[in-house]
Structure 1
Amino acid sequence: MKYQIIDSSKSEQIAMLAVCLTNEISERMGTKYFNVDIPLAIDLCKNYMSNGIYQVMAAFDAEQIVGFASVCQSYSLYAEGQFGIIQEFYVVPEYRSKGVGQELLQSVLKLAKQQGWKRLELSTPPLPQYKSTVEFYKSNGFEVTGGHKMKHVIT
């Protein structure tokens, strides 16, 4: 298994894995939380990666991407400066519970340190359906900070 930052030439693969992630969440929750426009997702992914505002750490089995974490930089007073946000984190089902996610996350934590970020944040899908996801992050040094992920669509 190999873990590395990838360039925008792999953006279509990453966008499709992100669609798998959003579909899996919607299926497990029994409601459609996301309405992903696939061509737009591919274009956005390529654009963000090309412009350096969205970095993707990928897990490879030979030449196949079997997992990824997308991260971006943000700023806040409460974090006392710049920090990273894991926007998406996904490992294909047949590679779960085999250490791929843990190694992928450790690679992202190393990247965060290299970037000089003060912290790394993420949101998880709702409990109780994703209790094991929360436990995974906690076992890798993350702590629950409370609250819920919320959105307001701007039209």
Structure 2
Amino acid sequence: MQINFKVAKLEDSEVIGSLVVDLTNEICKLTKAQHFDISLSSTIKRCRELIRDGHYVAIIGEYHNNPVAVVTFTEAYALYGGKIGVIQEFYVSPEFRASGVGSMLIEQVKKYGKQNDWSCIELCTPPLPEFERTLNFYQKNGLIPVGGRKMRQALE
């Protein structure tokens, strides 16, 4: 299967937003909880702003010029590792799962990270146990659990 990957540009914000909304809707449906207050229009707008301001990077995977996967990430700093990459969203369309697309997408992030002198990449998995397969996928691709759970408090 020939998947073409590209680092997204500002004009790709609509594609990124659409795939990320698919991801968040899937998480909410499987967990039967509304973890995110998200709309397509606000997601696209936020994506444009973050890419424009240099705070956000995305890599899109395309099959026959149709977007089928996306990973979004930021660069951060930590005393334990220096410069690191933090994956915010990772999504492969359901019909392309178990075909190797996800592993290829992880490799694209690793390549980007090495080019930018990251010491590591980090991410949080969706709520378990509904996403045990997701955890297994990440472990199979070299990521290891380092403890804890993602936690959030809205600042409004």
For the aligned pair, the TM-score class normalised by the smaller chain equals over 0.9
1:106 and 1:74 map into 2 onto residues whose CA distance is 19
Amino acid at match of 1:37: S
Q: Which residue of 1 aligns with 2:125?
A: 124
State the 1:38 CA deviation. Answer: 2.4
Instruction: Report the 3-state secondary structure (helix = DSSP H, G, I; strand = E; otherwise coil) of the residue aligned with 1:67.
Output: strand
Counterpart Cα distance in 2 of 1:132 and 1:42: 28
Structural RMSD (CA): 0.9
| AA in 2 matched with 1:18 | V
Q: Aligned partners of 1:7, 1:137: CA distance in 2, in Å?
A: 26
Equivalence for 2:109: 108
Identity %: 36
Q: Counterpart amino acid of 2:22?
A: C
Q: Which amino acid aligns with 1:142?
A: L
Cα deviations by residue, 1:43-72 (Å, 9 ceiling, x for unpaired): 110111122211111101121110000010
Which letter maps to 1:68? V
Deviation of 1:8 after TM superposition, in Å, equals: 1.1
For 1:126 and 1:38, the matched residues in 2 are separated by 22
TM-score with structure 2 setting the length: 0.95
Equivalent-residue separation in structure 2 for 1:153 and 1:9 (angstroms): 29
Contact 2:73/2:86 (CA < 8 Å) preserved in 1?
A: yes
Aligned residue for 2:141?
A: 140
Match of 2:152 in 1: 151
Question: Which whole-Å CA distance do the structure 2 matches of 1:75 and 1:13 have between them?
Answer: 28
Query: Is residue 31 of structure 2 the alignment partner of residue 29 of structure 1?
Result: yes
Structure 2: distance between partners of 1:51 and 1:105: 24
Is the partner of 1:87 in helix, strand or coil?
Answer: strand
Unpaired segments ≥5 residues, structure 2: none
Task: Tell me which stretches of 4 or more aligned residues in structure 1 moved more than 2 Å.
Answer: none
Superposed, 1:5-154 pairs within 5 Å as 5-79=7-81, 81-154=82-155
Give 1:16 deviation, angstroms. 1.1
Structure 2 CA distance, aligned partners of 1:105 and 1:3?
11
How far apart, CA to CA, are the structure 1 residues paired with 2:45 and 2:34? 22
The two structures have a TM-score, normalised by structure 1, of: 0.96
Equivalenced residue count is 154
* CA drift at 1:25: 0.3
